[in-house]
């Protein structure tokens, strides 16, 4: 079986629905098809709050069917292969669809195999993730009786880079409420060099870290999880000869072991080259390693080499594929030097829509208006939030209306209200309808 459509959109997530809805608002007569096997659509940003017991998981889930914009055809199947030289794709089961224009936005997938032992233990044995099962995170927070709580992230790009630390700040506050914080070490272990890459948010977050007495560990790459002995093993990727640069608010966790063995107490042995550390934990929250879906990774649409290998290759301002002019990519799958968020999708979608219409109507040059906007609502406690907004090169970019009334680099109750009530409302009622 085969069919042809003017515009084919792969993925009916945040990006796919938003682009489809905006296209329909601009031009009802377009022939648009959206392909996605999922029966449900999720508002993922609220999973941070679900993991901390302050949002109902059921409210993050909606049936897909009513979200598909009127006039758009939904094919409930998965794309198996893209053949951009022939303007064609193949679905699971072998059906072929050809297109004039293609929009690729299937998000990303979790690759648990990139951390030894993770596949067998995710969502059990004290190893949780708001990315995969926020209700299990909440269960663990409630059951926690003290010990070491590790919050960590992988060395791959991840969606919403702030999510692994937001749940940590909420956990800290929750542990104070349940009176276990004084017998708990909270440790944030990252492959990066900083807690957050954009000023002034970084400084604001370091104040939160100090106030909450959190131990930060930098340049640590998660290699292995041993769920039986509850130990996470990290490779140390920089500053191997300067252990003090690996820590902020340094603590020594009982039973932790460095390789080769060194004294990591008061006077660390700076002549040794640290290679690995084994960190015992009682609770481990992590973002799983994340990669582009197979059909993108193995297609001609993605980078073959380099740091963006496997992610979809697009012009970072027009979002047009680097090789095929009639193909656009946006959302988590796109190789863009900014954070992968729904907020970024909101600014990317109108650029893709404008460019598709330009091409369909032969209307001159493409828009290059996407300048990397992304934002991260950094929840720092129940009722507190910093809203980090930024663009390419980690430059701060503030919403003109919000910044008129609020300094969003401060912890504000108003931003928490925005996160918990305002943004979900805007998502379901405006963004997915093509109106925001």
Ligand X SMILES: Cc1cc2nc3c(=O)[nH]c(=O)nc-3n(C[C@H](O)[C@H](O)[C@H](O)COP(=O)(O)OP(=O)(O)OC[C@H]3O[C@@H](n4cnc5c(N)ncnc54)[C@H](O)[C@@H]3O)c2cc1C
Residues that bind ligand X (CB under 6 A): 10-16, 35-38, 44-45, 47-48, 78-79, 105-107, 130-131, 159-160, 163, 293, 295, 331-332, 340-343, 345, 377
Residue 241: Cβ within 10 Å count: 12
Cα 125 from Cα 283, distance rounded (Å): 9
Cα distance between residue 177 and residue 145, in whole Å = 12
Nearest-CB residue for ligand X: 13
The 8-class DSSP code of residue 289 comes to P
Q: How far is the CB of 45 from ligand X (least distance, A)?
A: 3
| Contact yes or no for 140/126 (Cβ under 8 A) | yes
DSSP single-letter state for residue 288:
P
Smallest separation, CB 126 to ligand X (Å)? 19
Element at 178 (helix H, strand E): none
Distance CA 173, CA 426 (A): 28
Choice between 61 and 210, CB closer to ligand X? 61
Residue of 105, 128, 269, 376 marked active site: 376
CA distance 226 to 255: 14
**What is the closest distance, in whole angstroms, from the C-beta atom of residue 363 to ligand X in the complex?**
26
C-beta of 342: minimal distance to ligand X in Å?
3
CA distance 330 to 295: 15
Task: Please measure the distance between the N-terminal and C-terminal CA atoms of the chain and give it in whole angstroms.
Answer: 37
Per the annotation, the verdict on 376 as an active-site residue is: yes
Choice between 108 and 278, CB closer to ligand X: 108
At its nearest, how many Å lie between ligand X and the CB of residue 365?
26
Catalytic residue among 105, 128, 160, 269: 160
Closest distance to ligand X from the beta carbon of 160 (Å): 3
Residue 349: exposed, middle, or buried by beta-carbon count in 10 A (0-12, 13-18, 19+)?
Answer: buried
Minimal distance, residue 174 CB to ligand X, in Å: 17
Instruction: Pick between residue 8 and residue 279 the one whose CB is nearest to ligand X.
Output: 8
Whichever of 12 and 274 has its CB closer to ligand X, that residue is: 12
Q: CB-wise, 161 or 280, nearer to ligand X?
A: 161
The sign one gets for the Cα dihedral 243, 196, 119, 79 is negative
Q: Token pair 């059951």 is at which residue?
A: 143
Q: Which residue lies nearer to ligand X by CB, 16 or 117? A: 16
User: CA-CA distance, 137 to 129, in Å (whole number)?
Assistant: 6
Q: What is the DSSP letter of 421?
A: I
Q: How many CB atoms lie within 10 A of CB 391?
A: 19
CB of 157 to ligand X, least distance (A): 11
Would you say 366 or 385 has its CB closer to ligand X?
385
Partners of residue 151 on adjacent β-strands: 188, 285
* Distance (Å) of CA 94 to CA 2, 19, 51, 79, 201: 9, 26, 39, 10, 49
DSSP 60: G
DSSP string, 203-262: HHHHHHHHHTTPEEE-SEEEEEEETTTTEEEEEE-S-TT-GGGGEES----TT-EEES--
Cβ closest to ligand X, residue 161 vs residue 191: 161
Our CB check for ligand X shows the closer of 20 and 264 to be 20
CB of 343 to ligand X, least distance (A): 4
3-state helix, strand, coil in the chain (%, to 5): 30, 30, 40
> What amino acid positions are annotated as catalytic residues?
160, 376
């Amino acid at each position: 079986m085969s069919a042809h459509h003017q515009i084919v959109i792969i993925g009916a997530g945040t990006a796919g629905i938003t682009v489809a809805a905006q296209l329909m608002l601009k031009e009802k007569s377009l022939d648009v098809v959206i392909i996605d096997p999922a029966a449900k659509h999720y508002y993922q940003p609220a999973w941070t709050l679900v993991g901390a017991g302050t949002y109902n998981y059921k409210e993050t889930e909606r049936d897909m069917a009513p979200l598909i914009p009127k006039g758009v055809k939904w094919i409930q199947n998965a794309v198996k292969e893209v053949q951009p030289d022939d303007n064609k794709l193949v679905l699971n089961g072998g059906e072929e669809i050809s297109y004039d224009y293609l929009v690729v936005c299937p998000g990303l997938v979790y690759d648990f195999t990139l951390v030894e032992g993770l596949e067998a233990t995710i969502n059990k044995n004290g190893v949780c993730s708001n990315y995969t099962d926020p209700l299990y995170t909440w269960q663990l927070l409630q059951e926690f009786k003290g010990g070491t709580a590790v919050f960590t992230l992988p060395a791959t790009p991840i969606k919403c880079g702030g999510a692994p630390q937001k749940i940590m700040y909420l956990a800290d506050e929750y542990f104070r409420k349940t009176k276990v914080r004084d017998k708990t070490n909270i440790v944030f272990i990252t492959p990066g060099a900083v807690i957050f890459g954009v000023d002034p948010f970084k400084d604001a977050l370091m104040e939160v870290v100090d106030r909450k007495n959190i131990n930060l560990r930098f340049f640590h790459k998660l290699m292995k999880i041993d769920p039986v002995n509850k130990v996470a093993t990290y490779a140390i990727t920089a500053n191997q000869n300067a252990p003090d640069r690996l820590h902020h608010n340094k603590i020594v966790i009982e039973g932790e072991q460095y390789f080769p063995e060194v004294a990591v107490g008061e006077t660390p042995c700076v002549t040794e080259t640290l290679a690995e550390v084994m960190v015992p934990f009682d609770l481990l929250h992590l973002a799983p390693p994340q990669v582009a879906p197979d059909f993108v990774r193995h297609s001609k649409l993605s980078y073959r080499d380099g740091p963006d290998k496997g992610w979809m290759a697009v012009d970072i301002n027009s979002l047009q594929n680097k090789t095929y002019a009639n193909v656009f990519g946006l959302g988590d799958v796109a190789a863009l030097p900014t954070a992968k968020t729904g907020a970024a999708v909101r600014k990317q979608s109108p650029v893709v829509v404008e460019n598709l219409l330009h091409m369909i109507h032969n209307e001159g040059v493409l828009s290059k208006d996407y300048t990397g906007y992304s934002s991260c609502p950094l929840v720092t406690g129940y009722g507190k939030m910093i809203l980090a907004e930024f663009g390419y090169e980690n430059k701060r970019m503030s919403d003109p209306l919000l910044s008129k009334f609020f300094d969003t680099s401060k912890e504000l109750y108003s931003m928490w209200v925005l996160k918990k009530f305002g943004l979900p409302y805007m998502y379901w009622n405006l963004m997915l309808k093509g109106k925001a």
